[in-house]
Structure 1
Amino acid sequence: MATMQNLYRNPGSSITYHHDTYDYISPAKYRDTLKGKVVLITGAGRGIGKATALAFAAAGASVACLARTHSDVENVVRQIEQNGYPRAMALMEDVADSEAPGRVIKEIEATLGPVDVLVNNAGISRVSDIEHEKDIFKSWGVIEVNMRGTIGFIHAVLPSMISRKTGCIINVVSVLATISLPYFSAYSSAKAGLIRATQIMDMEFRPHGIFSYAVHPCMCADTTLAQGALNLKAYAKVEGFRQFMSEFQLSMKDTVALPADTFVALAADPDAKLMSGKYIDATQDLGEVLNEARKGPDGRIEKEGLYTLKVDTL
């Protein structure tokens, strides 16, 4: 387990790492800071998405909860209403449907108003070696949901954000895009693509007052991301696969509150804009990272090109 965790974290980092929410992103700190804002969260029915919907509601935002299972998002909206938070609505769509973003945004604007914050959380995974992946569409489906689905919703919210010169886009990525682990080729590729796309988006969107972040949420067991993801034939045949998965699962001990509260802080904290376009690890202390970002060109983040996806060469 220790070996696997060392892969996720920079052992030489001076930044504090967290497994659960902490003072800088505390819900009490951001309560009611997003009043009047409309937030769309994809994959909001369970796990991190559900926690994110509840966190944004607690911060005062009206929340549109989208997932493939209607009963899941209805339950989230019910919890929001029972807590006495602002308006929320449930939407049932598959983000891989190319027509879904247009339908969703139209319905949200008619009910809650234009979207101010988009959290692209919906995702699926595939855990398999390449040799035993006989159905290429299993892998391609991961690309479509994680990459195309995300880009589709960004395109859908963009016109309104540009016209109002405001917006926050949070793309949920993964630390697996920044390290090399076997069996996650499709998932890691999709998330790496989103990290790079977010960096380019920032170059294009920031002049319009729109800020974008690519966020690794955490390693959390309370998620349905892996349901049906494991290639059982590969799992049975490939030497070392079982041991790898055992160690991988043991490393998943972060809480869903950690990314949920981080997303709210990114949308509500004015200084978060200093990290727009960059990769953010929600397990790292955001306050400490922003302290370095405030140094601007004189700080390590800009001088060393940190929190960006790159290839170092001679």
Structure 2
Amino acid sequence: MATMKNLYRNPASSLAYHHDTYPYITPSKYAGSLKSKVVLITGAGRGIGRASALAFAAAGASVVCMARTRSDVEGVVKEIEGKGHPRSIAVVGDVTDPEVPARALKEIETALGPVDILINNAGISRISDIGHEKDILKTWDVIDVNMRGTLAFIHAVLPSMVSRESGCIINVVSVLATISLPYFSAYSAAKAGLIRATHIMDMEFRPHGIFSYAVHPCMCADTTLGEGALNMEAYEKVEGVKQFAIDFGPSMQDTLALPADTFVALAADPDAKYMSGKYIDSCQDLGEVLQEAKKGPDGRIEKEGLYTLKVDTL
């Protein structure tokens, strides 16, 4: 799998493909554009979540940094404040705790007001063949965090968004849900579920002025998603797992700025609504994608059912 990175992109695509931020989503374009908005980012203590918190703060939003580790989110808040953006708070909680969404929303609304933008970024992964999983709950934990945690927070913010007829929901998914790679069964299933749920929920949310997106962030080495994900028994006993781990590293070549700036653009750019309910690859040029999406029924996206998770049959 020396060319694994080539599996992540459509070789027939003519769109520009990026590994770092680029002009259409550049931070200067959206500076101050989200000044009146409150954004809640789960998994905000590190990696993509941290980068996103800083990006939304630069765009003027009031930022809620949420994660399980207090020191992580408090550190991000201090970093935001150090850059001259005072309206940010840290909220500590586990997205799989059924009591957390309501408690978090109450804390947020008291401090900053209702949530306008929800970034469902919290997630964990697992790399293993299913046969060497001694504890099947390891795989279920992946479903629990990525799928149930996300749906729980959508459910929590929805009433306020509906009443205000406004909102933006970004579900962080993965390209691994759209291609077939071994050893990611739980993670791919969870992210595929989120993509499909985003398609369906858009049908429910869009009439209320709420736009939602399922976004593959990037393949970046500067995240903690993979920490503890590798089943060491499978690594030692299954040659394919060991080789996969070796080949996977070189594919991680994108920057954290790429997804962070993409999320801001989706929340701030009025044209983003044309891709509401769809799967979005942060590496594809968003401007070019939106240009085609704006064509509606006359464009390829609608005609060919692109950016939608589906099963093609005869």
Q: TM-score normalized by structure 2?
A: 0.99
In structure 2, give the amino acid aligned to 1:17.
Y
In structure 2, give the amino acid aligned to 1:94.
D
Which residue matches 1:191? Answer: 191
Which residue matches 1:236? Answer: 236
1:2 deviates by: 5.6
Which residue matches 1:303? Answer: 303
In structure 1, give the amino acid aligned to 2:36.
G
Which residue matches 1:218? Answer: 218
Which residue matches 1:124? Answer: 124
The change in CA–CA distance for 1:105 and 1:66 in structure 2 (over 3 A counts) is: same
Distance in 2, Cα, partners of 1:2 & 1:53: 34
> Contact 1:60 / 1:86 at 8 angstroms: preserved in 2?
no
1:190-245 CA-partner distances (Å, limit 9, x unpaired): 00000000001100000000000000000000111111111000000002222211
Distance in 2, Cα, partners of 1:141 & 1:29: 39
1:11 deviates by: 0.3
1:141-198 CA-partner distances (Å, limit 9, x unpaired): 0000000000000000000000000000000000000001000000000000000000
Which residue matches 2:263? Answer: 263
Distance in 2, Cα, partners of 1:231 & 1:98: 28
Q: Secondary structure at the match of 1:236?
A: helix
Which residue matches 2:61? Answer: 61
> Contact 1:61 / 1:86 at 8 angstroms: preserved in 2?
no
> Contact 1:44 / 1:121 at 8 angstroms: preserved in 2?
yes
Which residue matches 2:5? Answer: 5
1:86 deviates by: 4.0
In structure 2, give the amino acid aligned to 1:126.
R
Which residue matches 1:48? Answer: 48
Superposition map of 1:41-190 within 5 A: 41-190=41-190
In structure 1, give the amino acid aligned to 2:250.
L
> Contact 2:5 / 2:250 at 8 angstroms: preserved in 1?
no
Distance in 2, Cα, partners of 1:172 & 1:112: 24
Distance in 2, Cα, partners of 1:294 & 1:203: 18
Distance in 1, Cα, partners of 2:249 & 2:265: 28
Distance in 1, Cα, partners of 2:133 & 2:186: 11
1:3 deviates by: 2.2
1:59 deviates by: 0.2
1:110-164 CA-partner distances (Å, limit 9, x unpaired): 0000000000000001110011011011000000000000000000000000000
Count of matched residue pairs: 314
In structure 1, give the amino acid aligned to 2:157.
V
Distance in 1, Cα, partners of 2:15 & 2:247: 25
Distance in 1, Cα, partners of 2:86 & 2:21: 23
**RMSD (Å), alpha carbons:** 0.7
**Unaligned stretches of 5+ residues in structure 1:** none
> Contact 2:220 / 2:254 at 8 angstroms: preserved in 1?
yes
In structure 2, give the amino acid aligned to 1:30.
Y
Distance in 2, Cα, partners of 1:211 & 1:106: 23
Which residue matches 2:26? Answer: 26
Q: TM-score normalized by structure 1?
A: 0.99
1:240-279 CA-partner distances (Å, limit 9, x unpaired): 2222111111100100000000000000000000000000
Distance in 2, Cα, partners of 1:273 & 1:217: 18
Moved beyond 3 Å, runs of 4+:
none
In structure 1, give the amino acid aligned to 2:171.
N
Distance in 1, Cα, partners of 2:235 & 2:141: 20
Q: Secondary structure at the match of 1:55?
A: helix
- Percent sequence identity is 78
In structure 1, give the amino acid aligned to 2:16.
T
Q: Secondary structure at the match of 2:131?
A: coil
